[in-house]
Structure 1
Amino acid sequence: MSRRSLTLAAVVGLMAATAGAAAVHPDAEPARAERRPVAQIRQEPGDAMLVQRMAGDSVVDAHSYERARDRFRQLRTDNAGRAETAGVTWRSEGPTGIGGRLKDIASDGKGTLWVAAASGGVWRSGDGGKTFQRSWPDSFPQAIGALTRGPDGVLWAGTGETSPGGGSTTYAGTGLYRSADGGKTWKQSGLTDSHRIAEILVDPKNARRMYVAASGDLFAPGGQRGVYRSENGGRSWRKVLAGATPTAGPADLAIDPKQPRTLYATFWDHQRRPDLRQYAGPGSRAYKSTDGGTTWRELGGGLPAAGPDTGRLAITVAPSDPNRLYLLRVHRLGNFDGLWTSADAGATWTRLPDDPLLRSSQSSYGWWFGKLWVSPGDPSDLWVAGVPLIRSRDGGRTFGYGAADVHADQHAMLWENGTPGTIYLGNDGGFYRTDDDGATWVKAVSEPYTQYYTLDVGEQDPSRMVGGAQDNGCSRSYGSAEGWHVFGCGDGLETLINPVDQNRVYYCSQYGNCSRSADGGNTGRNFTGATTSTRRNWKAPLEFDPNDPSIMYYGGNILNRSADGGVTWTPISPDLTEGEGPDPQYSFGTLTTVAVAKSDPKRIYIGADDGTVAVTRDGGAGWTKINAGLPDRWVTRLRVDPSDADVVYVTLSGFRSGSDAAHVFRSTDGGSTWKNISGTLPNAPVNDIVQVGRTLYVANDVGVFVSPLGGSHWLPLPGLPETPVMELRVHRPGGRLYAASFGRGMYSTRIPVR
C-alpha cells in the first residue's frame, strides 16, 4: 500500500480523507462477469510491477517465473568457476531498520519468534523481536504468505501471498515447507501448485493433523485451490473443501482451540486479468466443519446471502469463548461492508453497528487486509486489521485505535503464550511489540527485508545511499546516528543524488509526486506542479543529463526539461504515447524511462508503458518513434553508450503467458534497427541495464547478469537471494556495482571499472 508510518493524528486525517473518497474510488470493479475498458482501470498501489508484466488477454504465468528461476540456477551451475564471476561477493548495504511487509508471525512461547516477509523469506528473532536473522534459504521462493508453529515445535511456511497487491502480486509460491529444527533447514511438503497460501492451522492436540488454505492462481481459475487436510504431518494432502466457483479460494481459516475438530473457513472469489480486477463474486462464502474438515456447511443465520458484491471475508474465534465468533465482509469496491458476531458458534449472527472508524479503516482496500483477532482472555476484545490497527473492547460495537505511531496497513498479530499484555504485530512497515496490552509499541531495530524499487549512490561518497521502497518511503543511509531512516515519500519511487553536489537530493512518491532538497533531504520542496503532463506513471522517470547534472528530465506523458536543478520546468515534447484509450497493452499512456546521450546532449531517448520508444536529435524540437522491430511491451529502461549516441539499449517486461519474446535489444544506428541480445538470459522481465566499457549488466526478476563482451552471452552473478532486482547503479570511483532488491534490501559487489 501507499502510506508511510503514521502518527495517531495523521491516521485520523487519513481516515477522514479515505472515507470520503471510498464511494468514488477509481478502482471500483463491476460484478464478476463484467469488464471495463483498460483506460477506466487505474493502477492500485503496487500494481505497477504487475501491469507491466501483462498484455491484452495474456496474464502472468506462474510457471514462467519458475522456469526463469530454474534457468538461472542452471546457468549458475554451468558457469561456476568462470573467471568473470568467480570472485563475485555481494555485500549487504542494508538497511536493517526500515523493515517491510510481514504476513504472519510464529512463536515458541519463550521469546523466540519467526516472521514471514512478503517477498523476503522467513526471519528468526532470539531476543523477543528486537533483531531478526535470516531463517530461510536464499535459493527458495522468497514470497511467504503464511507461517505457523505446531505443538510439536515444527515450523510450517506457506509460499505466495494471497493479498493481491503491494508488488508481490506477480510472484506465486511453490507450496508448503516444513522445518523441524527451528528454521535452520527447510523441506518442501506438498501443495506445490497452490500458488498462494493464506493460512496454515495445526491441530493443537494432534500435530499430525493440519489444514492449509490454498488460495490458488490469481490469474486462472481452478487448479490446486481449496482447504486441504493432512493426517500424517504433511506427507500427503487431501482437498476437503472446494469453492462454489472456479475462482473462489480460501482466504481465512479459524479453529476452535478447545474442540479442534471444529473449523471455520472463508472463501474469496477473485481473479485478475489485464482488463479485469474481480475482487468479489458469488463464491465468497463462509463455512463450518465439526468433524475435522470431512464435511462442511455454509454459514447463514443472519449473514447476507452470497452474491456478486461479496468480497473478501475474515473470520475469527474468541479463544476464551469459542462460541463467540466475528466475521467481517468487504464489498466488491474494496470498502467495508459489515461486521457480524455470533454467540452460538455460528448458528445465528447479529450485524454490529457500522462504527465510523471501522468503516474508514478499511478505506477502499479492504481486500488488502482480511484479518480479525480476539484477545485470548477477553471475548469482547476484538482487533481489526486495516490501514490503522483498530480495537473494540465491547465486542465490536464501538472502536478506537489499537496502536498509535506504528506503520500503516496491518496484516499479522500474535499474543505471546503465558505473558499477559505481550502482543506482536506485523504490518507493511515490519515488526512491532507491546508489553502493556497495546498502550505503547516498539519497532524492531533490525529487520533486513525491505522491498526497494530504486537506489542511488553518492558519487563523492558511496556511503551516502538513497532508495525508494514499497510502502516504506524514500530512505537514506546518512543524516542520523541510527543509520538508514525514512526521510520522505509515501511509496518510495525514484531517488537521485546529484553527482557533483551530494547535498542535492531528489525523491518521488507514486505517480511522479517529486521533491528536491538542497540539504541532503532534511528539507524539501515539491516540484510536480511545475511540470506539464496529464498522466504520470506510478514510477515516473526522473534523470540527470550526464553532461550537466543541473539539467534534468522528468516524464509524465510529456517530457519536461529543467536547466536549474528542478526549480523550473519546460515541456519539450508533445504527448509521446499512444494515449489513454482502450488498449490491449494495458498501459496508461505514460513515460517510463528517459536516457540522454553523454556524447550528444541533444539526443534524448524515451520509453513508455505502451511499448513506445522515441528519440529527439535536436533537444526536443522534433521527435521520431523508433519502436519498429521491438516487442509491443512495457519499456523498463533505456541506456545510451557513453561514447556513441547511436548505440542504445532497451529492456522490456515479460512473464506473459504464451510469449517467449526477448527482453534486451541493442541498436547501433540510433534506433532505426534493433538486434535481440537477450541470448542466454532467462525469460523474465529485465528491469535495468548498465554499461561499463564493453561490459553490460542487467537486473531482472531472478537476479543480476553480466555480458563481458556486451553481446548475447550472459552469465549470472551468484550470491544474491532470489528476489527481483529492480535497479542497478555503478560507482566508478569505488569500482562497485549496487543492486536494489525487492524484498532483501540493497547489495553491492566489486566489479572491474575501466
Structure 2
Amino acid sequence: VLNGVARSRDGGMTWTVESEGMILTRISLLAASPTDPEVIYAASAGGEGTFRSTDRGDHWTWLNGGGLPHPWADELTIDPTNPDVVYETVDVADVYRSEDAGDSWELAWPDFRFSSIYALAAAPSDPDVLYACKNGFGIYKSEDGGHRWRFLHQSGIDYTYTIAVHPKDPDIVFSGYNPKPFQDFAMIRRSLDGGDTWETVLKVEGSDGITTIAFDPSNPSVLYAGSIGENGGRVYVSRDGGDTWNVLNERYTMCTVWGQPQLMIDPTDPSVAYAGTWLAGTWKTMDGGRSWTLLRGAPVSATSLSIDPLQPNVVYLSDRSSPTVWRSGDGGDTWTQVADFRNDGALLVMRVLVHDGVVFASTFHPGLQGGRLYRSSDDGATWKDVTGMLPKGILDIAVDPRNPQLVYVTTNINSAYKSADGGETWFHMDGFPDVGAYDIEIDPRDSNTLYASARGGSLPAWFTSISGDHPNGVQFSETAGVYKSSDGGETWTQVLETWPSCRVIRVHPENPNLLLAADLVDGLQVSIDGGRTWTARNEGLENIVPTSCAVGGTTVYVGTQGCGVFSGEIDLETGKIAWEPDRCNKPVPAVHSMEIQVDPTDSDILFVSANPGGLMRSTDGGGTWRDRNGITPSVVVDDPKRQGYYTFAIDPNDPDRMWVGTWGKGIYKSFDAMLLNIPAFGERMTLLGKEIYRIVIAPDDPDRVYVATEQGVFRTSDGGTTWEAMNDGLGTTQVRSLLLTADGRLIAGTLGYGLYEYDRWWDEWDQLPQLREFGTFWPIWNGRPLYQYSTLLIDPSDPKTMYFGTFPAGIYKTTDGGEHWRESNVGWTNDGVFCLAFHPEDTNVVYAGTYNGINRSLDAGGHWEMWDEGWPPEQWVFAIAFDPITPSIMYACSKNGENMGDGRPGFHGTVMKSIDGGAHWFPITDGLNVDQEFLKILVDPVNRNILYLATQGDGVMISRDFGEHWEPWNDGLGNLNAGTNGNNVANVLALSADGNTIYFATLGSGVWRRTIDR
C-alpha cells in the first residue's frame, strides 16, 4: 500500500508515487484552485494535517505550522473570486481563514459558534443550575450559572423547543422531543438525577413535536404538555409526576370559530356550510359536517364569510391577518383578492357582506382608533367609502332581502345605525338598547322585524381609552342577550337575557319563528315562538363555548371556541337538537406551535397559546376553554413552527397582569387575564414590527419587562410606554430564548452565537462559554462521536455573501463576509446539511444536500422547501452536480442514512438524476454496487456526457452516457477505498481548474492523480 501521491502520465495505465513533502495514510478532503490548475489542497482524516501543492501534486507543503492548530479538517473552501483566500472548518466547529493560500491562518469568526439555543431553562430552586438545548446536538447542563457545561449524553434529545425543571428539585427535568423528517412520533423524556439518566414517559405517534411542558407551580406532581402535528394538536396532563399521561380534553383542538359571521350555510343546500377560523384555515363541508375540506386558496384567518343569497357559489371572505377582502366564484375552490384597504390605515377587515353583487366591508384600524365602511356595486372591482356619520368599530352588517336599500350596522360600543338608501346616508337608531351589539338579523318575511344579540356589563377605562373617545370606560345600562324590534328598529324589547355575552342570533330562513342564540356562558338557546320563550339546548355541548350558529332546513351548525364546529338535526316543532357525534368537533386543523402555562396562584386556571387559535384560558382545569385574544391580531407566517408564536407571560404576583407577543404585529398587555388587552408597542411604536420569541416579567417589578425577538432584546421599565434596545455585546440580534434566574441574572439563548449573560454594571451582554464536548460519544446517533459537519458556500458574484451549512443544525448566512451570521432555516425541517450548491445561472437558487434528501431555496436562503421527489428515504446527500450546458439536468449521490446512518444490508447509497431542476429524481445505478456510499459526483466540463463518481470501496467509476451506465475507471489505481472516516462527509474527488487533471483521495494510499485525455 502506497502512502502519498501517485501519478499517471499515460491515461492511468501506469502510476508513479510522487509525494514529496506529504506522508499520509488517508486523505479525506480535496480542494482545487478555481483559477490555477497547478494548485490543489488536501487534508487528512488521520490527523496529519492540511497540505498544499502548487505543481499538481509533485510536491507538498504542510500548512498546519502557520496557525492552524487543529489537525482534523472538516471542510476546505477556496474563495471563488480570490484563490488566495482559503477557509478550513475543523470538526470541533471552528473556522480558520487564510489570506495567503494557507501559509498563515487565523480564527475567522471567534464569536460565531454555530450554536442555536432553542430551549433554555433555569432551576427555580437553584439559580446555578441551567439546562440548554443546542439545536440538533442535544441538552447541556451547567451547575455554576453557565460558566461550565457538560453534554447530557443519555438525554436522547437533539431537537426540542421545551425544557422544564421541577420548581423545587433541580435534578428533576423534562424535555420534549421533536422528530426528524423520517420519524413519525414525538416524546417526553424525563430525568430524575440531574440529567445523567433519562427515560421516555410519553410517546405520541403521529406528532410533529412536544413543544411545551409546564409544571403546576402549586402542585409540581401535575404537569401539562402540548403536542403539535398536521393531524391536530393535543394537551396532555400527568398527575403523578410524569409517570402516566392522558389527553386533557379530547374535544379541545385549538379550532376556534370566533364569531357569528365566520359560520355560513348555503341558502340552497343546508348540507353545505363554510367555517372561517382563527388561523386554522377556511373550511367547507358538503355533507352536513361529517367531513370538512380545507380551502387552500383562502386566507387562513377569516373574520367573516358571506354567501350571496342569489348566487350561492359566490362567497366573500374578510381577512383577520390583513385588511383584505377575497372572492370565490366557484364555491371556495379558487379565490381572488378584490380589496386591500391598508392604504387607508386599516389593520383588518372585520365584516364583509354580499347581496346580489353588492358588497359591504367594514375595517378596523390599529388600536381601535378608527375604521371605515366601504361598498362595492360591481362584485368588488371598485369600492366607495360610505362611512359618512358612522362611528368606528362596525361588527355586523345586515341587508334586508326584501328591500336591499335597507342596511343596518352594529358597533361594539357605539350603538347601531340604519340606511334607507343602500348606505349612502345613515341615521342613528335612537331606540337601540344601550349594549354592545354583535349581530343584527332581519326576519326574511317581515322587514320590520329585527333581532340583535349583544353584551352588557362594562368595559374598563384602561381598555376604552386607547380608542380616544371613551377615556373613562363604558358602562352599559342594559344586559346581555337578544333584543327584538317589530317596527324597523324604532323601538326594541329584550326577549332573552343571557350572561355575559350573546354573540349570535339566527332566524330560520323558512320558519322565522324559530330562533337560535348563543352565549359564551349560557350556551345555545332556542325559541320556537319568535322569541317569546326560550329553552337551553346544550345537551351534547357540555363544556363547549358556542360563538356562532347557522341553520337551514333541519340542519344546524354551531361554531365554538377551541373545539371546532358541531352539527346536528333540529326538530322544527319542538326546537330539540340531536347532535350527531360523527358531525361534531370538526374540522381538526394542523397545529404548529403551542405554549402552556399554569396560573401561579390557582391550579385550575390554565393558559394555552397556539398557532392556530391564539391564546385561550380554562378556569376548570382544562374542561372548558375560552378565547383570550382580545384585540390580538392574527399573524400569518411562512414557517409557523419556527415563527408565528403567541408567546405570553403571567405576572407571578398578580396573574391578572399578562403580556402576549406576536410575530411582527406588536406586544399587548392586559389587566384582566387577557379578557381584554391593549397595545404596548411604546410611544415610538418600538415593538411594532418586532418578531417576538419570549417575554419575561421581572418578579420584583411588574412594569419591568424583557422581550426576546429576531431583532434583539428590548426592555421597558414603565409597563410598555417606552422601550429600549439592549443589544450591546450580542453577536446577533436573533435571540430565541430568554430567562431570569432565581437570583436575577438575565440569560439569553441566540441563534448561532450560543448563550449570553447580561452584565447590569456595564449594561452589555457577555458571551458564555461554548456548549461543546466534541468527540464524546453521541448515543442518539448510535454512539458516534459528537461532531459537527460543515459546508461553506461562497457566492461567486459577491464573496461577502456566504452560506454555512451544518449537520445537524441547518443553515446560517452572512452578507458581510462573516461579521454577522443569521440562522436561515425558514421552511427547514429538523435536518442537517452535507453539501450546498448554487444554480449555475442564478445564485439566488441554492440547493442543499441534507440527511433526508435535497432542499431548495429560490430566494437566496430566505425560504426552503424539500425538493427530492423520487429519492429513497433518509439519504445523506453528499454531492450535487449540474450539467454545464443544461443546468436543469442535475446529479446527486448519497449515503443511505437509515438506522441512524448505518444503512441496511445491500443498500448503503445511491446515485440520482433529475432532468427538471430537481423537481423529480430517478436512480442511475446501472453498473454500480449500491452496497456502499457514493461520496462525490462530477460532470466533465468539456464532455458533458462523461460523469465521474467517487465510491466508498470501488474507486472511481465513470459514465460516458449521462449516467445510463457505469464502469470502473481504476486502471493502475493501487487503492480503491476512498479516504473517509465514516462520520464526516469526505470530498475525495476534484478536478483541476483547466479540467485536465482529476484527483482521488484514498484510505491508506494518499492522493492519486490522473490526466484526462482530451
Q: Which has the larger radius of gyration?
A: 2
Compare the two structures and name the one with the higher helix fraction: 1
Instruction: Report which structure shows greater RCO (CA 8 Å, sep ≥6).
Output: 1
